[in-house]
Amino acid sequence: MWIVVGLTTAAFATATVSGMIGLGGGTMLVAILYAVLGTPALVVPIHAAVQLLSNGSRVVAYIRHVDFRSLGWFMVGAIPAPFLVVPLIADVDEHWAKL
- pTM for the model stands at 0.68
Contact by Cβ (8 Å): 18, 26: yes
Task: In whole angstroms, give the CA distance from residue 61 to residue 24.
Answer: 21
Instruction: Tell me which of 96 and 88 has the higher pLDDT.
Output: 88
Compute how many other C-beta atoms are within 10 angstroms of the C-beta atom of residue 63. 9
pLDDT in tens, 72-89: 999 999 999 999 999 988
pLDDT at 55: 84
CA–CA separation, 13 vs 9, rounded Å? 6
- pLDDT tens digits along 3-48: 889 888 998 899 888 888 888 888 999 999 999 998 888 999 999 9
Q: Domain ranges in the chain?
A: 2-97
Using CA atoms of 25, 31, 32, 35 in order, give the dihedral in degrees to the nearest 10. 180
pLDDT for the residue numbered 99: 60
